Structure 1
Amino acid sequence: MESHTDLWLAASIVTISLLLSAFFAGAETAFTAASRARMLSLETSGDPRAGIVNRILAIRERFIGSMLIGYNIVAIGASAFTTSVLTSIFGKSGVLYATGAMSVLVIVFAEVLPKTLAISKPDRAALLMARPVAFTVALLGPLAIAIENLVRLMLRPFGITIGEHQSILSATEEIRGQVALLHREGGVAKAERDMLGGLLDLSDLTVSEVMVHRTKMRTINADLPSEEIVREVLSSPYTRMPLWRGSSENIVGVLHAKDLLRALDAAGGDASGLKVEALALETWFVPGTTSLRDQLKAFLTKKTHFALVVDEYGEVMGLVTLEDILEEIVGDIADEHDVTVSGVRPQGDGSVNADGSVPIRDLNRAMDWNLPDDEATTIAGLVIHEARAIPDQGTAFNFHGFRFQVLRKAKNRITTLRITPLGPTPPARRSADPES
C-alpha cells in the first residue's frame, strides 16, 4: 500500500511540476515573441492586460530571470523527488527509470509543447498569462534581481553590459524588415509594401534622383510671340511651363496655365497684347542634394508644387514637382492628359524591354526585382557603371542575376535595353561578364 501511495504522490507532484514548468517555458516564449506595437495599441485602447505585458517587457532581464528560476526550481525538484521515490521502489535501477521518464516528460510536455503553442499565437498567450506572470515576477523578483546583479559583475570584465536594448538596425530598417516579412507571409500586399517602402525611402533619396532631367523638360522661349506661347501652353500636358530667354538654361520664370487663361479671358481672347513674362511666377531653385523628405516639407510650407533643380555650380539639372515625390510613394500617377509611358514593356519570354531612361526604382517596383540603385539612377546608368564604358549596340552583360542587352543606342545614350532574369537565384552581387 505504501508503495502505491508513494507512486500516486510522485505522479501528482510530477504532474503539478510539469504544469508549472510548462507555464514558465510558455510564458517566456510568448512574452519574448509578443508584438510590442500590438501590445501598445491594445494598451492605448484600454486593455489592462496589455499594460501589464508592456510593464513586464520593460524589465525584460528580471522577467526572464524569474521565469528561469521558477522553471528550474520545479523541474529540478520534480526530478529529485521522482528519483528518490523510484529508487526506494526499484533500487539503484530507479535512477535510470527516473532519468528516462523525466527526460521525456520534461522535453515533450514542459518544453516543446508549451513553447510551440505560445509561439503560434504569442500575443494571445501573453495576454492570457499576463496576470499570473506579473504575480510570479513580483514573487521571484528579489531573487532575480540578486542573480541579475551577479551576472552583471561576472560580465563586467568582458565589457558586456546588460539592460541596453540597442538594435543593430535603425528604426527605419526595423520597419522595412517587418513590412517585408509581412509581405512574404501574405499579410501585406505588394502595393502596400511598395507604398510603405517608398515612404521610408524619402529621407534616403534626393531630388536629383527623381527629377525630370533638363533634356526632357518642356520649356517655352519667352521671346516668342504671345499667340504662339498660348498655343504652346494649350498643347502641353503640363500646367506649369518654365520660360527661358537667350538660352534654354536661362530660366526667367514659370508660367502657370491658369494665370495665362485668366489674362487671356480678361483680354477678350486677344493674345496679341499679353505680356506673358509679367504673368510668370518667380522661379524656385533647389539643390539637387536635397532629400525628398525635406523637399516635400518645403513644398507644403511654400504651398507650391514646382521647383527647378540646380547643381553645385548653379546650373539647371532638371525640375521636380510634388507629383514626382508622391509617385515615389504611390507609384506612377497618370491622368487623361499624360502623354508619357512607363518605358517598361514585359515580353512573353520573361524578359523586359525598357527605355534606358527608366529609373531603376520604377523597374524594381514594376517587376518586383531588386536591382541596386546606389551608383546609378537609370537602367542605362547602371549598365554604363557596370561596364565601365558606353557599350555598343548588340553588346550584352551579365550582372546582378540579369542579362542586359543593348538594343538601341543614339550617339552616347543607351535608348533601349532588353533585360532577362538569368534564374531564380541571382549570382554574386557583381559579376560582370561582357558578351558581344
Structure 2
Amino acid sequence: MNWVLGAVAAAVLLAAAMFLRLIEATFIRLGRARASGLDEADGNSERHNGDRDNGHSSAPPRASLEKLVEDREVVLGPVSLLRVLAQVTLVGGVTWIAASRTGAAGIVAAIAMTSFALFVVTEALPRRWGVEANDRMARVLAPVARVLSRAGPLVWLARLLAVPAKALGPAATHGDSGEVTEDELVALASAAAQASLIEDSEAELIGQIMGLGDTIVREVMVPRPDMITVSIGDSVADALEKVIASGFTRLPVTGASVDDLQGIVLAKDLVAAHLHGIGTDGVVKCAQVLRSATFVPETKRVSDLMREMQESKSHLAIAVDEYGGVAGLVTLEDIIEELVGEIVDEYDADEALVQVLGDDAFLFSGRLPASQLAEVLELRLPEGDWDTVGGLVLDRMGHVPETGETTELDGWCLSALEVEGRRINLVGARRGADSTGSG
C-alpha cells in the first residue's frame, strides 16, 4: 500500500512539474507584440461569435495575454518556485524511499531514473510544446497563469528569493522587454517570405518602410546642380518651354541666384496664363503665377516630411542647408520611390544607375546612394559625410579626380570614368584591380 501511495504521489508531482514547466516555457517564449496580436485575434473572434448569436455569446472572456507579459516575472516567479518545489520533493521522496528499502545501488538507480523522467517529462516535452505550439499553449494556459499571478504570498516570496539573482545578473536592456525591434521585424518578414507566408515583394516593402524612418531629405533630394529652375523675370512662354523640355510640372523660381528662391510655378498655371492672361506689353511673367514654396532642412526625416506633404497637399519642397542656402529639392515622387523603387514615366531619361559589365565588374551612376553600392559589392562603407557614390569616391581621393583616376576600397578598384567640372557622374568598379593604375 505504501508503494502505491508513493507511486501516486510521484506521478502527481511529476505531472505538476511538467504543467508548471509548460507555463514557464510558453510565457518565456511569448513576446509582447505577439501577445497583443493574439488578444486582438481572440477579441475579433469573440465579437464575431457574439454577432452570430445575436449578442448573447456564452464564451467566457479570455485573460489578456498582453497584460500577463507586461511584467512576466509576476507569472514566472510563482510558477518557477512551485516547479522547483515539486521537483525537489519528487527527488527527495524517491531517494528517501530507496534509502529505506534498498542499498546504495538502489539509491543510485532511483536517482538516475528520476533524473531521466524529470528531463523527458518536465523539461524536453514541455519546452517543445511551449516553443512549437506557443500560440495555442498561451491561449490555453492564460487563465491558470492569471490565477498564479494573483497569488500574493507566492509572488512576494518569489520576488524576495530573486533579489540575489537580480543583483548578480546583468542589467535589463531595451531588447529584453519583449518588444520587437525594427531589425527583428525585418528579419521576421524575410523569414515569412522564405516560408511563403508572404510575398517577397511584401517583405521587401516592409524593409523599405523600416528604412524610411532613418532616411533624411539629403539622401533622396534632387541636388542643387540638377535642379531645373526659371527666373522670376522669365516669361510664361519661356517657362513652358522648360516644362516641355524637362517633363516636370513644378519648377522653382529664382531671383538673383539659386539661393534667392522666390517660389514655384505649376505647369497648369503657366498654361492657363499663356492662354488667357495678359501681362505688361502683352507678355505674362512668371512672377504673376508664382506660388509660395515650402522650405525644409536637408536633415529632416523623410517620413515626417511625407506626412507634412500629405497634410498640406504639396508635392514639392526646397531643401536648405545649415547656412540657409538651397541644397536641392525633394518631391513626393522621390519619397515614394524610396518605398517602391524607381518610378519611370515617358518623360524620364532611361538611365541605369547600376550596370553589370561582367564578373566582378560594374558601372555606377555618381548619384547612386552609396548604401546601394555597398549592397551590390557586398562591402563595408567607411565613415564619412557623403551620401552618393560620387561623394564617396571624391572623399576617398581627397581631390577632384581626373577622368580615369582610381582609388581602392575593401578589395575593389573604383574608377572615376566620367568627371564633369567638379562632379563625378560615372564610377567603374572592378574587384582586385590595381588601384594605382588609371583605370
Aligned-pair CA distance for 1:213: 0.6
**TM-score, with normalisation over the residues of structure 2?**
0.80
**Structure 2 counterpart of 1:252, one-letter code:** Q
Q: Deviations over 1:387-414 (max 9, x none)?
A: 5455552524132xx6242150415433
Q: How does 1:259-338 map to 2 (within 5 A)?
A: 259-266=269-276, 273-338=283-348
Q: Deviations over 1:288-322 (max 9, x none)?
A: 23332332233233321112222233222111112
SS at 2:327's partner residue?
A: strand
Q: Deviations over 1:252-272 (max 9, x none)?
A: 33121011112233359xx96
Does residue 385 of the first structure (1) align with residue 395 of the second (2)? yes
Query: Given that residues 316 and 330 in structure 2 are in contact (C-alpha distance below 8 angstroms), is that contact kept between their aligned partners in structure 1?
Result: yes
Q: Deviations over 1:78-108 (max 9, x none)?
A: 2122223333443232210111111111112
* 1:344 aligns with one of 354, 368, 384: 354
Percentage identity across paired residues of the two chains: 26
> Which one is further off, 291-300 or 376-385?
291-300
Residue in 1 aligned with 2:76?
64
Aligned-pair CA distance for 1:28: 0.9
Q: How does 1:237-256 map to 2 (within 5 A)?
A: 237-256=247-266
- Measured in 1, the distance between the counterparts of 2:222 and 2:378 equals 23
Does residue 116 of the first structure (1) align with residue 128 of the second (2)? yes
SS at 1:134's partner residue?
A: helix
Does residue 182 of the first structure (1) align with residue 189 of the second (2)? yes
SS at 1:51's partner residue?
A: coil
Residue in 2 aligned with 1:398?
409
Aligned-pair CA distance for 1:191: 3.9
* 2:31 aligns with one of 25, 31, 35: 35
**Structure 2 counterpart of 1:167, one-letter code:** H
Residue in 2 aligned with 1:127?
139
Residue in 2 aligned with 1:92?
104
Does residue 358 of the first structure (1) align with residue 368 of the second (2)? yes
| Change in 2 beyond 3 A, CA 1:26/1:404 | farther
Kindly report the root-mean-square deviation, in angstroms, between the aligned alpha carbons of the 2 structures: 3.6
Query: Given that residues 179 and 193 in structure 1 are in contact (C-alpha distance below 8 angstroms), is that contact kept between their aligned partners in structure 2?
Result: yes
**Structure 2 counterpart of 1:143, one-letter code:** L
Q: Deviations over 1:142-186 (max 9, x none)?
A: 12312313543x478x59899xx6515999981333222431453
**Structure 1 counterpart of 2:298, one-letter code:** G
> Which one is further off, 382-391 or 229-238?
382-391
**Structure 2 counterpart of 1:146, one-letter code:** L
* 2:215 aligns with one of 169, 191, 205: 205
- Measured in 1, the distance between the counterparts of 2:397 and 2:136 equals 54
Aligned-pair CA distance for 1:380: 2.2
> Which one is further off, 97-106 or 271-280?
271-280
- Measured in 2, the distance between the counterparts of 1:49 and 1:67 equals 23
| Change in 2 beyond 3 A, CA 1:220/1:405 | same
Residue in 1 aligned with 2:40?
44
Residue in 1 aligned with 2:156?
145
| Change in 2 beyond 3 A, CA 1:336/1:66 | same
Count residues with an aligned counterpart: 413
> Which one is further off, 283-292 or 212-221?
283-292
Q: Deviations over 1:346-389 (max 9, x none)?
A: 34425432112111245567889875786320012223334545
- Measured in 2, the distance between the counterparts of 1:78 and 1:160 equals 29
Gaps of 5+ in 2: 47-59
**TM-score, with normalisation over the residues of structure 1?**
0.81
> Which one is further off, 181-190 or 68-77?
181-190
> Which one is further off, 118-127 or 377-386?
377-386
SS at 1:238's partner residue?
A: coil
**Structure 2 counterpart of 1:98, one-letter code:** A
SS at 2:293's partner residue?
A: coil
Q: Deviations over 1:220-264 (max 9, x none)?
A: 345455433322222321100123355454433312101111223
Q: How does 1:222-237 map to 2 (within 5 A)?
A: 222-224=232-234, 226-237=236-247
SS at 1:241's partner residue?
A: strand
> Which one is further off, 51-60 or 102-111?
51-60
- Measured in 2, the distance between the counterparts of 1:169 and 1:347 equals 46
Q: How does 1:410-421 map to 2 (within 5 A)?
A: 410=419, 411-419=421-429
**Structure 2 counterpart of 1:178, one-letter code:** L
Query: Given that residues 77 and 155 in structure 2 are in contact (C-alpha distance below 8 angstroms), is that contact kept between their aligned partners in structure 1?
Result: yes
Query: Given that residues 356 and 363 in structure 2 are in contact (C-alpha distance below 8 angstroms), is that contact kept between their aligned partners in structure 1?
Result: yes
- Measured in 1, the distance between the counterparts of 2:27 and 2:431 equals 43
**Structure 2 counterpart of 1:238, one-letter code:** F
SS at 2:174's partner residue?
A: coil
> Which one is further off, 127-136 or 315-324?
127-136
- Measured in 2, the distance between the counterparts of 1:230 and 1:239 equals 9
- Measured in 1, the distance between the counterparts of 2:61 and 2:275 equals 67
Query: Given that residues 83 and 94 in structure 1 are in contact (C-alpha distance below 8 angstroms), is that contact kept between their aligned partners in structure 2?
Result: no
| Change in 2 beyond 3 A, CA 1:388/1:99 | farther
